[in-house]
Each structure stands twice: as C-alpha cells, then as structure tokens.
Amino acid sequence: MDFILSGLIEAFWLLIRFDPETISAIDITLRSSTLSIIFSLAIGLPLGFCLGFFSFPGRKALKLLSDTLLAVPTVVVGLIVYAFISHRGPFGEYELLYTLTGIVIGQTLLALPIIVSLSATAVEGMDKKLYLTLSSFGLTTFQMIQSVVWELRHGLIAVAVAAYGRVIAEVGIAMMIGGNIKWFTRTITTAISLETNKGEFAMGIALGLVLMSIAFILNFLLYFLKKRARITV
C-alpha cells in the first residue's frame, strides 16, 4: 500500500511544480486530441447531417456502416493508419509515422464514425414539429440547414464532447503511430503505460489524475448538455 500512497503524494508534487515531462505529455495529448476533433467535426458534421436529414439511395447502408465503425478498436485504426503511412505504405514518402501529425490523422479517423453516426442520429431524431415549423417559414435550403443545426446545437455539442472523450483516452493509435517518443509524441495514456511498466507510479498516477479530471469535466459537460437538450424537447 505504501508505494501507492507515496506515488500519490509524489504525483501531486509533479503537478504542483509543473514537472516538464508531465506537462509535455499533457500538452501533446491536448494538442493532438483537440486538432483531431476539429478535423473530424469539420468532416463528420456535414456528413452526419446529410445522412440524417436527406433521403437518398444507400442511406440506410451508410448509416449501418457508420454505426458499425463505432465499435472498431483503436489498435485496428492504428494498424490501418500504420500500414498507410509507414515507409512501405502509399503515404510513406510524407514521413508521418512517429509524428504528432500521424497521431492526429489516426485520432481523426477514430472520431469520425462517432461524429457521423451520432450527429446523424441526432438529426434523424429531430422533432417533426421542428421541421414543419421551419418549413412553414419558407426557408431556403441553406437557411434550413443553418436553422436545424442551431436548433440541435446542444445535441451536436454533446456528440463532439463524447468523441473528444473517446479520443483523449485512447492509447492504441498514440502508441502505434506516435511511438511514445518523449517530448514529441508521448501522450498521457502512452506515458502512463510506459511509466507503470517501469515501476514509476508517481508520474503514472499524476497523469492518471489529469486524465480523470479531463474525463470528469467532459462528463459534466455532457450531463449539462443532455439536460439542456431534454428541456428543449
């Protein structure tokens, strides 16, 4: 028990005095996950909206595909991205393996099905009365899209928060694509994994505390947004 207690005390010290190695892992994690969420939202939200809003042939098959991709393990995403960006892969010449950019690509692909599938579900589940009400104002297609997105804003932000939670806590992609290189691609999760293997519990616990704090904030946000979305129904 002593090593856990002493690890916990040391972890607080690491955080209080801004230990550079700990801060570096936090910084890389926040940068990679934030960038990947921005990219996946930019691609996924319009796709999810179209999938949920418009009727077209093959829509159900696409929805089924995006729902299935929700369950893909991070190591499988890591494996696929690895195959494409390693030296032998089609994008090998860009030297993306073991870089932050590589991690961002992998995490973007991880978040994409979450955003597409959940935002499509949110749009699909839109109250018919909302659609009829907006239609009755005589909106152009662009005005309609703009208004629907605004009306579903709480649900869509909740989708982004859920995807962010998944990305920030993943370890498979960061490990396989980033390579866990100190100061460059070592994220919170890969650092915890490594430090624990080395028997360095203090840094592991410190980083674990940070990750749990982020998870708590995200879950609080989700709870708040879901409550807000419920009021609006």
User: Which residues are near other proteins by CB under 8 A?
Assistant: 127, 129-130, 132-133, 135-140, 143, 147, 151, 153-154, 231-232
Burial class (CB in 10 A: 0-12, 13-18, 19+), 91: middle
Looking at beta carbons only, is 71 or 231 nearer to other proteins?
Answer: 231
Comparison of 6 and 143: residue with beta carbon closer to other proteins: 143
From CA 76, how far away is CA 61, in angstroms rounded?
22
Minimum separation from the CB atom of position 135 to other proteins (A): 5
Which tokens in the block code for residue 186?
């070592």
Residue 134 CA, chain-centre distance (Å), reads 32
Query: What CA–CA distance (Å, rounded) separates 137 from 125?
Result: 21
Q: 39: buried, middle or exposed (CB in 10 Å: 19+, 13-18, 0-12)?
A: middle
Least distance (Å) between residue 61 CB and other proteins: 24
User: Shortest approach of other proteins to residue 31 CB, angstroms?
Assistant: 33
Least distance CB 49 / other proteins (angstroms)? 17
Q: Nearer Cβ to other proteins, position 146 or 219?
A: 146
- The widest CA-to-CA distance across the chain, in whole angstroms, is 69
Rounded to a whole number of angstroms, the minimum distance from the CB of residue 126 to other proteins is 11
Q: In this structure, what DSSP letter does residue 98 have?
A: T
> Which token pair is 38?
């921005």
Q: What is the CA radius of gyration of the chain?
A: 21
Kindly tell me which of 213 and 232 has the beta carbon lying closer to other proteins: 232
Of residues 140 and 197, the one with the C-beta less far from other proteins: 140
Question: What is the separation of C-alpha 48 from the centre of its chain, rounded to a whole number of angstroms?
Answer: 16
Residue among 68 and 143 whose Cβ is closer to other proteins: 143
Structure tokens that stand for 71 in this block: 């369950």
What is the nearest approach in angstroms of other proteins to the Cβ of residue 53?
A: 16
Lookup result for tokens 């028990």: 1
